Amino acid sequence: MNAVLRAVLPPLLFALGLIALWQAVCELRLVSPVFLPAPTRAFGELWTRALDGTLWTPLLATTRRMVLGWFLASLAGVALGAAIGLTPAVRDLLEPTLEFLRPLPASAMIPVAILFWGLSEQMAAFVIAFGSIWPVLMSSIYGFGNVRVRLQEVSEMLGLTRLEFLWKIAIPSAMPDILAGMRSGLAVSLILAVVTEMQASLPGLGYEVFLAQRSFRSAELFAGLIMLGLLGVVINHGLELAERRILRWRPKRA
Amino acid sequence: MSLADRQISTPAGPPIPAGDRMPAGAPALSIRDVSVTFGAATNRPVLKDITFDVREGEFLSIVGPSGCGKTTLLRLFAGLMAPTSGSIQFDGKPVAGPSRQRAIVFQDYTNALLPWRTVAGNIALSLERHVPSRAARDAQVAALIAKMGLERAAQQFPTQLSGGMQQRVQIARCLAQQPRIMLMDEPFGALDAITRQTLQDDLLKLAAETRMTTVFITHDLEEAIYLGDRVYVLGANPGRIIETIEVGLPKPRNQLTTREDPKFLAHRHHLFGLMQGH
């Protein structure tokens, strides 16, 4: 209990200190409340919206959009990563194209995606997936490309089929890299969910923040930001827990 | 003492058949004029003009200094690589690639085991497609776990085990594929002296029980003599056979009395001299 307290207390105090500073800046009127609401107002706004339900609809919409795009990116990233990492011929075939696509900012794909799909969920899914595939893809290529040679030999000696090798050896072996990539991809997908909402007026937290800014409702704007931050924390933590469970075979680090 | 020092309990569970026997006298493996050269043909060969037979059911030790191509030789037997010239026949047929009839125990057990699978899961790996019934498979795995003295480790992951225990898991996994021949590449090279002796004795018991043909590679002269029915000595640069010894020590071997046997000492003396010359 004492150890938990010692671990949790300093970072908590630091965050509270920042909020207190923010409150002080507002109390002293160093910044106009039109631009910067006091934390009491921002959190108050969040509270009211949580109670009257107007928080949940955009939160759900943003979360769904982000998770869908991320899921598609992860699926495609792992599949492509396996193909590239395990077969040099595929690597030679695809790598130049991927090197061209990779530096393209995903937000630059929004106009293209709108041309194809209009202001729709498919459009958002495409843009989010396009941006968040790279971390998963890159780490999957690495993970599948570094399956131990010894394990490939073991698989040959035991007469495993190609499919068995993939399921029983290659995927579990690449799993730590896949999961690390998926975690980075999730952060990107949250950013892109917000950006697409702002660009394409899709209902969600990002769009709410955008509207709040347009109409100088600073409390609402900051409430939205706080919610986005919390969303990131919760999802990242959830993934961390899942990762620890999936990789429980790994020796614990001291 | 750790679990690694446990004795093999005999017999445990259903016996493990070792496949159909060849008629007595026919070689399990026959190697004819085998040479291996890595890279350009002008390079020095790693192995040169190797010719010998591995007899059905025997325990053959191959000993040699590092760099003499011992491991390469074993990989040829396994079918993990092909010779540059010459032929290798197993059971009268050319070795064209890996086969479940030939099991290999690698020296680096840490790399050869699947770290994400438990001990039981690692052993089951070699049975999953061949024994589709879950119950039958579990029974076979349990028998092997008992045979190798791994009962208390069954649900642990390899990284939680000592080196000796991990090597037991690898041997169990090889036994699970019911091979005709067991190829062992310095399997005890990385283990401490006590664990190594226990595993040597367990291996001898296992070999006697299953009457499985075994090729055991080592750079340790005493280990080669202690375990083997015969010992081949390889010389380096290029790797070639420089001596063959019929060990002729009584079985079962004993860590104290066998190693004090004048015959053992004579072999050791002879081999030591050979290795010094290289």
pLDDT for B3 beyond 80: no
B111/A150 touch (CB, cutoff 8 Å), yes or no = yes
Interval A60-100: pLDDT, tens: 999 999 999 999 999 999 999 999 999 999 999 999 999 99
Closest approach of B156 to chain A, Cα-based (Å): 9
For residue A154, give the chain B residue with the closest CA. Answer: B112
CB contact, 8 Å: A151 with chain B?
yes
Question: Can you say whether the dihedral through the CA atoms of B190, B115, A163, A143 is positive or negative?
Answer: negative
pLDDT for B175 beyond 90: yes
Interval A165-197: pLDDT, tens: 999 999 999 999 999 999 999 999 999 999 999
* Residue A1: band (very low, low, confident or very high) from pLDDT cuts 50, 70, 90: low
- Could you tell me which CATH class the domain A56-197+234-246 is placed in? mainly alpha
Rounded to 5°, angle at Cα A167 from A161 and A170? 95
Mean pLDDT score of chain A: 92
Mean pLDDT score of chain B: 88
The pLDDT score that the predictor gives to residue A53 is: 86
- Residues ≥6 apart with Cβ < 8 Å to A113: A123, A126, A127, A130
The pLDDT score that the predictor gives to residue B36 is: 93
| Number of Cβ atoms within 10 Å of the Cβ of A202 | 20
CB contact, 8 Å: A169 with chain B?
yes
The pLDDT score that the predictor gives to residue B111 is: 95
Q: What is the dihedral of CA B218, B220, B224, B225, to 10 degrees?
A: 170
* Residue B24: band (very low, low, confident or very high) from pLDDT cuts 50, 70, 90: low
Q: What does the pLDDT average to over A206-231? A: 90
- Residues ≥6 apart with Cβ < 8 Å to B234: B62, B63, B64, B65, B68, B69, B70, B73, B240, B241, B242
**Are β-strands B59-63 and B230-235 bridged in parallel, bridged antiparallel, or unpaired?**
parallel
Question: How far is B111 from B102, CA to CA, in rounded Å?
Answer: 19
Closest approach of A78 to chain B, Cα-based (Å): 19
A148/B111 touch (CB, cutoff 8 Å), yes or no = yes
A153/B106 touch (CB, cutoff 8 Å), yes or no = yes
Interval B55-107: pLDDT, tens: 999 999 999 988 888 999 999 999 999 999 999 999 889 999 999 999 999 99
CB contact, 8 Å: A160 with chain B?
yes
CB contact, 8 Å: A249 with chain B?
yes
Q: What does the pLDDT average to over A25-50? A: 90
Most distant CA pair in chain B: distance in Å? 56
| Phi/psi at B25 (5° precision) | 95, -30
Helical axes A218-246 vs A171-200, angle rounded to 10°: 170
Percent of chain B at pLDDT > 90 equals 77
pLDDT for A32 beyond 50: yes
CB contact, 8 Å: A156 with chain B?
yes
The pLDDT score that the predictor gives to residue A250 is: 87
Q: What is the ipTM of this complex?
A: 0.86
Number of folded domains that form chain B:
1
CB contact, 8 Å: A162 with chain B?
no
Q: Say if residue A157 is exposed, middle or buried (CB neighbours under 10 Å; 0-12, 13-18, 19+).
A: buried
DSSP state of B245: E
Structure tokens at A17: 């200190």
For residue A165, give the chain B residue with the closest CA. Answer: B125
Instruction: Indicate which CATH number applies to the domain containing B255.
Output: 3.40.50.300
Tell which of B71, B110, B114 to mutate to test the A interface (max A CBs under 10 Å): B114
pTM: 0.85
The pLDDT score that the predictor gives to residue B14 is: 44
The pLDDT score that the predictor gives to residue A253 is: 62
For residue A151, give the chain B residue with the closest CA. Answer: B112
Closest approach of B234 to chain A, Cα-based (Å): 25
Percent of chain A at pLDDT > 90 equals 81
* Strands (E) located in A110-202: none
For residue B170, give the chain A residue with the closest CA. Answer: A154
- Residues ≥6 apart with Cβ < 8 Å to B69: B36, B46, B47, B234, B236, B238, B239
Q: What does the pLDDT average to over B248-267? A: 93
Specify whether the CB–CB gap between A62 and A205 falls below 8 A. Answer: yes
DSSP state of B169: H
Q: What does the pLDDT average to over A96-110? A: 91
Taking contacts as CB-CB distances below 8 angstroms, the residues of chain B near A156 are 80, 97-98
Interval A115-158: pLDDT, tens: 999 999 999 999 999 999 999 999 999 999 999 999 999 999 99
A157/B128 touch (CB, cutoff 8 Å), yes or no = no
The pLDDT score that the predictor gives to residue A125 is: 95
Domain boundaries, position B242: 3-17+26-276
| Number of Cβ atoms within 10 Å of the Cβ of B246 | 10
Enumerate the H helices of chain B as residue ranges: 70-78, 109-112, 119-124, 134-147, 163-176, 193-210, 221-227, 257-260, 262-276
Q: Say if residue B19 is exposed, middle or buried (CB neighbours under 10 Å; 0-12, 13-18, 19+).
A: middle
| Cis preceding-peptide flag for A11 (omega within 30 of 0) | no
Taking contacts as CB-CB distances below 8 angstroms, the residues of chain A near B159 are 249-251
Taking contacts as CB-CB distances below 8 angstroms, the residues of chain B near A250 are 115, 159
Question: How far is B58 from B70, CA to CA, in rounded Å?
Answer: 18
* Residue B25: band (very low, low, confident or very high) from pLDDT cuts 50, 70, 90: low
List the single range of A244-253, B130-139, B184-193 with lowest mean pLDDT. Answer: A244-253
Structure tokens at B155: 């649900």
Q: Which of A172, A173, A182, A189 is closest to A228 using CA atoms?
A: A189
The pLDDT score that the predictor gives to residue B237 is: 83
Specify whether the CB–CB gap between B267 and B245 falls below 8 A. Answer: yes
